[in-house]
Structure 1
């Protein structure tokens, strides 16, 4: 029950922060889903950092891990919004934007996980 509460609270913080970033960056003046893109890259870095920190320091409690990874990162990042925005680009005939969004999200997301891991294992 305690873990469910930790996921709930962490997810709430992550979701609110995701909403605020999306509101700031996902406007009609941009022709790219910058809010979701940035949130997913930041979340990828954070989760890589956490896993690297755990591997090297092994000083994180299970409760903190559940709160940060299952809760905060789970609520902060959003695959479903990414998929919906990708489909919207396709449906509107913006094939280049679709490819740019999907490929850059995946490639840079993987890079951010690696970079977070690298930073936490080399500098912390």
Structure 2
């Protein structure tokens, strides 16, 4: 049990660093007029979750502690649905309901498609 918490902590640090780095990169390239950084992180995180979940379940033998650390700690810190929710709220409160709805539906659709794509690729290779 201690090992699981250690892996979660280690991978959470890496996931948070990856999230921050991607946020800086995406905001530098695309700006801050739309929450592109969080959208890209959530889509990428869903893809990686779909891929790694099945890779580590069906192909790659990992200890349950390491697998939990990667999926729960790493991806849990990397993707943040709470940030998505807050950014959606801010768009609505700033009088931009079309952007808010676009962001909601794009996030939902793209993230579910990304999870399916990750799972499909994992099972296809």
TM-score normalised to the size of structure 2?
A: 0.91
Contact 2:4/2:66 (<8 A) preserved:
no
CA offset digits 1:6-59 (Å, max 9, x no partner): 101100000011011112223694311111111111110011001222343262
Q: Gaps (5+ residues) in structure 1?
A: none
Match of 2:25 in 1: 24
Match of 1:77 in 2: 79
The alignment status of 1:93 with 2:95, answered yes or no, reads yes
Q: How many residues of Structure 1 are paired with residues of Structure 2 in the alignment?
A: 123
TM-score normalised to the size of structure 1?
A: 0.91
Where do residues 27-42 of structure 1 align in structure 2 (5 Å cutoff)? 29-42=31-44
Tell me whether 37-46 or 23-32 shows the greater mean CA deviation: 23-32
In 2, Cα distance between equivalents of 1:6 and 1:65: 9
Match of 1:2 in 2: 3
In 2, Cα distance between equivalents of 1:29 and 1:19: 15
Q: CA RMSD, aligned part only?
A: 1.6
Match of 2:123 in 1: 121
Runs of 4+ in structure 1 off by over 6 angstroms are none
Match of 1:112 in 2: 114
* 3-state secondary structure, aligned to 1:32: coil
